[in-house]
Amino acid sequence: MREIDVARVAEAVARLCEEASMDLGEDAFAALERALEQEESPVGKDVIGQLIENARLARKEWVPMCQDTGVAVVLVDVGQDVHVVGGSLEEAINAGVRKGYQEGYLRKSVVGDPFERKNTGDNTPAVIHYRVVPGDRLRITVLPKGAGSENMSALKMLTPADGLEGVMDFVVDVVDEAGSNPCPPIIVGVGVGGTMDQAALLAKRALARPVGQPHRRPEIAGVEEKLLQRINRLGIGPQGLGGRVTALAVHMEVYPTHIACLPVAVNLQCHAARHKEAVL
Amino acid sequence: MSLKQVTTPLTDEAVAELRAGDRVLISGYIYAARDAAHKRLYELLQKGEELPFDIEGAVVYYVGPTPPKPGQVIGSAGPTTSGRMDPYTPALIRVGLKGMIGKGLRSQAVKDAMKEHGAVYFAAVGGAGALIAKSIVESEVVAYEDLGAEAIRRLRVENFPVVVVNDRYGGDLYEEGRARYRLAEE
């Protein structure tokens, strides 16, 4: 049994919170640069140019690329041969979030009770999803999720008769209705199958993939491509000001489901496709 | 599409010059205010009390910046979604608010108030918080310090880059831009 001390977990999470907020991944940069070439609208081109400049500036000056540094979504793959020692894994993750948000001068956006809405002051608790996997490693992905795009996300329980067409229509409708609100150009995370909770989680996990990396199964990759084309015909464009590039990518994840079910969840992500990963 | 310069406070004449689609550089003072601050401003108006800043010709910016690093005037400071302020906005426009900076769609009630009283809605680039912060040269909390990131701040800006989305004539760049680039289903 390989042992990992909780202090290492907290350190890693703190670093990932900062890095995710300041340092846009090369995948997202490349997607923005492709978008700049594809965009025909002058205002749209201007917007994408500003987003690229903004991301460079954030990395250089080590400041957040967006003021909404989000709720810290933490995806943890726990190897079944790992023994976490020295304290609670969950507390260590939250300690890391607390440290990262404080030391990185990130905005604390979490309210402790959804009705009282009093800020917890340290951006905890994180939203944590665990998965037990083979091996003796701990893989931690921090995905700070901003509210502008999260608020435009949606879930629908379709019927099997709605089929692939029904799923695709729903995804396109969600993006169409969101319009300028989620800060396009967006990345569209789609989860299909499982149960309602599973579909939503699949959509979130889809956002943790490198931007524009097609699904490993060619038939799913084909659906992603078709959806991207349909979305980019909507005309919404960068920031909703009109243009060709409404989405940079569509990422879909699927899972087996019930004979009577066809859940589909759409989780939208703005251009700041923030996610950083560490393997301990 | 033209590039225009405006200085705050906005006059009726300045608002009349601005059209949906214009790129604009704003200089002067603007007021940072978002959800909780708007709620309080609205409640003051309901009670007939004074607002904590001069609303005549004012421009509000929907923003909740990150905490500044030592030496910074302000942290990252891009726009937040404007629609959440819609329930409070017509009342502010009625008492003299002339400009709003944010991102995303406005309600019909806000657009109607803009037409009736002469106001303009600008979009700043959502997600460009590090870049936008460069055009903010002074920042001072003027009210509701207890609200933290949501406190009302007076910001002095120089050449703050925005695009006119809704003008006082009913022009709407979100609708016009989308219609211009929309393609039929294949």
Q: Which B-chain residues 62-121 have CB contacts (< 8 A) with chain A?
A: 63-69, 72, 75-78, 80-81, 83, 103-105
Interface pTM (ipTM) of the complex? 0.91
The residue ranges of chain B whose pLDDT is under 50 are none
- As a whole number of Å, the CA-based R_g of chain A is 19
Q: Tell me the average pLDDT across A41-47.
A: 94
**Does the annotation mark B117 as catalytic?**
no
Q: b/e map of B66-89 (b: 16 or more CB within 10 Å)?
A: bbbeeebbbbbbbbbbbbbbbebb
Of A50, A53, A105, the CB nearest to B75: A105
CA distance B106 to chain A (A): 10
pLDDT digits (tens, 9 = 90+) for A148-201: 999 999 999 999 999 999 999 999 999 999 999 999 999 999 999 999 999 999
pLDDT at A36 over 90: yes
Of A63, A147, A230, the CB nearest to B130: A63
C-alpha neighbours within 13 Å on the C-beta side of residue A27: 17
Question: Is the full-model pTM beyond 0.80?
Answer: yes
pLDDT at A14 over 80: yes
pLDDT band at A272 (very low <50, low <70, confident <90, very high): confident
Of B75, B161, B180, the CB nearest to A63: B75
pLDDT of residue B66: 94
Q: Tell me the average pLDDT across A31-42.
A: 96
CA–CA separation, B46 and B91 (whole Å): 9
pLDDT band at A93 (very low <50, low <70, confident <90, very high): very high
Strand ordering across the sheet containing A127-133: A127-133, A71-79, A138-145, A276-279
In this complex, do A240 and B21 lie within 8 Å of one another by their Cβ atoms? no
| DSSP strand pairing (B152-166 vs B59-61) | unpaired
Q: Which A-chain residues 159-198 have CB contacts (< 8 A) with chain B?
A: 179-181, 183
pLDDT of residue B1: 54
pLDDT, mean over chain A: 97
Token duo for residue A212: 């524009």
Closest listed residue to residue A272, CA positions, set A157, A172, A182, A178: A182
pLDDT of residue B34: 92
Among residues B38, B103, B106, B153, the one annotated as catalytic is: B38
Query: In degrees, to the nearest 5, what angle opens at C-alpha B133 toward C-alphas B61 and A212?
Result: 95
In this complex, do B126 and A58 lie within 8 Å of one another by their Cβ atoms? no
Q: Tell me the average pLDDT across A136-159.
A: 97
| B106 three-class SS | coil
pLDDT of residue B184: 85
